[in-house]
């Protein structure tokens, strides 16, 4: 079977790729396992040297990789360059810290010696999405390889060029050839890979249905999973917030990656006292963002990744308006080529509407007015998702308390845009998944936490 990648800005064919045959998949997994058997015995010093070289390869070829992202999924090239730099930072972070994170931990017990060791599991399958086609992979691969594992990647079908480029990053850096491999397969073939006896664990970033399918199959095979799924991140705008700064942060949080991010700001829960002024400032900021060719350095907003995604987002807007939401900005598909969608602001969003209940994976903001802080917290938690969230307030102690004690999510930022950071654990609760990536917590997800007792 042949795949074609389509440029979402122009509709033109970027490239064609041959899907991996079942025989090729079997050979790749077997090769990754053989590479793991040798790799697990290497020292952290050896692994670190190679991971630092991977960071160098990324930085050296940042422009090339950013252009590939722009062509395959529409990311503006300056954003793609920043994504590559973030991947390089992540590689350096684990090169520097993995040995410390995985050092044996002594335990006082009634033994002559007892401790906890952290040993690699083997081949880990990574099922990754298209929205951050390099960073999503490296935030798994850097800690995973540093822990001594091997990896096989099933990337989204619209970014096969990125998937193969990532494989080459590790080869250019000097990693064993079979240690990190790409499988060009469709979603229907994932189950067979999970069933393979040499695949020991699975990590997935993607939609709820994809997460449930992978978790179900992995559970049946008794294999460990980490799932990072959807999000509908609430941004609480309290009555004491700096509204001009809040509008800046909310716009940035909503429009990052054209709104195609699990941790993008999506629900703007605004105390009624400041609602009118916030909406005025928010619409002003959102309307200032301009579209352009993702290959241009000046472009702020590119197209959505695919036309079907654009159409699904527009349907959510239309259904919300039909139920009583008001559209303050945008809400119409522009003329011309490309999967473009304008920055859109809906207000008077209420429970039961698509903009309240569903994840809006694009540049559509849902403003939900509330009476006070308690009502804002209640609405924030009134969601099946629990990935990230933000509290915007002039009282840092108040924001800290709400973030720590009241918001049901994997991360909460006070007076800042939610983002992933290699130094902080990343993941969610409820239907946003389970397990953690990044930091010392992430690297320990795919190791055998072993108790050793010497009498």
Cβ–Cβ under 8 Å, residues 440 and 97: yes
Q: What is the CATH number of domain 233-414?
A: 3.40.309.10
Residue reference for tokens 């139920």: 323
Q: Which two tokens stand for residue 251?
A: 């716009």
Specify the pTM: 0.97
Q: CA of 272: how far to CAs of 305, 321, 369, 373, in Å?
A: 35, 20, 6, 10
3-state secondary structure of 64: helix
pLDDT at residue 290, rounded to an integer: 85
Structural contact between residues 118 and 147, judged by C-beta atoms closer than 8 angstroms: yes
Residue 182 gets which letter from DSSP? E
Catalytic residue among 83, 167, 228, 408: 228
Do residues 388 and 413 make contact, with C-beta atoms less than 8 angstroms apart?
Answer: yes
Catalytic choice (262, 358, 437, 445): 262
So what's the pLDDT on residue 410?
Answer: 98
Cβ pair 42, 148 in contact under 8 A: yes
Active-site residue 262, yes or no?
A: yes
**2-229+430-454 and 233-414 share one fold:** no
For domain 2-229+430-454, give the fold. Answer: Aldehyde Dehydrogenase; Chain A, domain 1 (3.40.605)
Q: What is the pLDDT along the chain (455 residues), one digit of tens a residue?
A: 788 999 999 999 999 999 999 999 999 999 999 999 999 999 999 999 999 999 999 999 999 999 999 999 999 999 999 999 999 999 999 999 999 999 999 999 999 999 999 999 999 999 999 999 999 999 999 999 999 999 999 999 999 999 999 999 999 999 999 999 999 999 999 999 999 999 999 999 999 999 999 999 999 999 999 999 999 999 999 999 999 999 999 999 999 999 999 999 999 999 999 999 999 999 999 999 988 999 999 999 999 999 999 999 999 999 999 999 999 999 999 999 999 999 999 999 999 999 999 999 999 999 999 999 999 999 999 999 999 999 999 999 999 999 999 999 999 999 999 999 999 999 999 999 999 999 999 999 999 999 999 99
pLDDT at 291: 86
The DSSP secondary structure of 189-200, one letter per residue, reads GHHHHHHSTTEE
Q: In this structure, are residues 236 and 392 in contact, taking their beta carbons and an 8 Å threshold?
A: yes
How many Cβ atoms are within 10 Å of 419's Cβ, its own excluded?
A: 17
Distance between CA atoms of residues 327 and 72, nearest Å: 31
Q: What is the pLDDT of residue 439?
A: 98
H or E stretch covering 230 = none
Q: Could you tell me the residue ranges of all domains in the chain?
A: 2-229+430-454, 233-414
Q: What's CA 87's distance to the chain center, in Å?
A: 12
Active site residue 228: yes
Strands (E), 128-210: 150-154, 180-182, 199-205
Quote the strand ranges of 216-333, DSSP E: 224-228, 233-237, 265-271, 326-329
Quote the pLDDT of residue 30. Answer: 98
Looking at residue 87, its pLDDT comes to 98
Residues 194 and 190: their CA atoms lie apart, in Å, by 6
């Amino acid at each position: 079977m042949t795949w074609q990648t389509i440029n979402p800005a122009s509709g033109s064919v970027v490239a064609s790729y041959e899907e991996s045959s079942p025989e090729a998949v079997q050979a790749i997994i077997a090769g990754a396992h053989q590479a793991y058997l040798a790799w697990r015995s290497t020292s952290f010093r050896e692994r670190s040297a190679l991971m630092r070289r991977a960071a160098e390869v990324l930085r050296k070829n940042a422009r090339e990789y950013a252009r590939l992202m722009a062509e395959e999924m529409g990311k503006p090239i300056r954003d793609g360059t920043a994504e590559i730099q973030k991947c390089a930072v992540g590689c350096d972070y684990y090169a520097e810290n993995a040995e410390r994170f995985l050092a044996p931990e002594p335990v006082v017990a009634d033994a002559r010696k007892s401790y906890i060791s952290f040993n690699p599991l083997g081949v880990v399958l990574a099922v990754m999405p298209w929205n951050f086609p390099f960073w999503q992979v490296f935030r798994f691969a850097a800690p995973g390889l540093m822990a001594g594992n091997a990896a096989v990647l099933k990337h989204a079908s619209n970014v096969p060029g990125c998937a193969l480029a990532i494989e080459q990053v590790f080869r250019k850096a000097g990693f064993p050839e079979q240690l990190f491999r790409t499988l060009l397969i469709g979603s229907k073939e994932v189950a067979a890979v999970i069933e393979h006896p040499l695949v020991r664990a699975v990590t997935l970033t993607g939609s709820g249905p994809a997460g449930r399918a992978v978790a179900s199959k992995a559970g049946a095979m008794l294999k460990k999973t980490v799932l990072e799924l959807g999000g509908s991140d609430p941004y609480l705008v309290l009555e004491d917030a700096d509204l001009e700064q809040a509008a800046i942060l909310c716009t940035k949080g909503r429009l990052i990656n054209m709104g195609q991010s699990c941790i993008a700001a999506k629900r703007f829960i605004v105390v009624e006292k400041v609602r009118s002024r916030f909406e005025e400032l928010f619409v002003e900021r959102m309307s200032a963002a301009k579209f352009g060719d993702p290959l241009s350095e000046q472009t702020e907003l590119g197209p959505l990744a695919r036309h079907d995604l654009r159409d699904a987002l527009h349907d959510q807007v239309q259904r919300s308006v039909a139920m009583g939401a008001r559209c303050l900005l945008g809400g119409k598909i522009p003329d011309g080529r490309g999967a473009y969608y304008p920055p859109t602001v809906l207000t008077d969003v209420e429970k039961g509407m698509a903009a309240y209940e569903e994840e809006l994976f694009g540049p559509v903001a849902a403003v939900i007015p509330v009476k006070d802080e308690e009502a804002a917290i209640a609405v924030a938690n009134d969601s099946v998702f629990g990935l990230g969230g933000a509290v915007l307030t002039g009282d840092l102690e108040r924001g800290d308390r709400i973030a720590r004690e009241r918001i049901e999510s994997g991360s909460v930022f006070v007076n800042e845009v939610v983002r992933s950071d290699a130094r902080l654990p990343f993941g969610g609760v409820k239907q946003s998944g389970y397990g953690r990536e990044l930091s010392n917590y992430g690297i320990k997800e795919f190791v055998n936490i072993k108790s050793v007792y010497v009498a």
